[in-house]
Structure 1
Amino acid sequence: MIGFGIFLVLLAIGFFAGRANESRHLHSLDIREQELSHIIVSTTKHIPDGYNQSQLIAGNVVISIDYFKRIAAMLRALVGGRIESYTTLLDRARREAIVRLLEQADDMGAHMVANLRIETSSVFQNAQNQIGSLEVYAYATALR
């Protein structure tokens, strides 16, 4: 009975702390994306005319799933379907990696980012193939 109580307390802490952390992070991303919206982002491999300097830039992030979302994902995996907690985690990680890449481009005075590519990998997977953390690596060519 005590073990179940501890489980419920951890679940509640994970829910409220995770939700607050995610909300803060999403708000920060919204602000930073708006500040960097002057940089043109393209996935094309071809560099348009008028740019005479280029440099490889990258941004990466590792984000971990909180306790509540981990339990919710395990329950959802039992019945099948879309695991929303992982979808949200992946979206946050992707946005953060791109923002970090754009911040690097902005620091060097770039006006455009071309050939944007994104790679993902799961980190700290356990024996049941449950993802503990997710890494997103974004790289591109910054143009001035």
Structure 2
Amino acid sequence: MTPDWHLNLGHPSDSYIKALLKEGHISGTFTESLKCPVCQQAKIKNCPHSKMLPHSNSPFFKIHMDTRQINPPTRKGHKYVLVSIDDLSCFNRTCGMKEKGEAEEYIKSYLREIKNKLGITPAYLHTDRGGEFNS
């Protein structure tokens, strides 16, 4: 089968082309599947997401957090940094840490500070589910 047949017939499946050949509606021989870029693109599935988090409509409704390694370490010996970004305002805060295990205490302290200063308890903490966030 030539690529022209595939395009002219609207990108049919291999089984449909074989049926057309068998019934004599088109002439030629079927040798192998075409690697049609359009068909391959159409078969791509969206990445599975368990659920999408709602968009923020107020400050500190949703906070994004992640850790990164610092290389070389700071003068104070910090090897990691915890980054927190508010979804709506993009207000951000960073905290240097010597060990990733310090993240839990920093997060608790940061949430208490938001509660005490603003009277807000964030509804969502969006993380990459790293080990430092699973406590």
Compute the TM-score of the two structures, normalised by the length of structure 1.
0.24
More strand by share: 1
**Structure with greater Cα Rg:** 2
More helix by share: 1
Greater RCO, 1 or 2 (C-alpha within 8 Å, sep 6+)? 1
Compute the TM-score of the two structures, normalised by the length of structure 2.
0.25
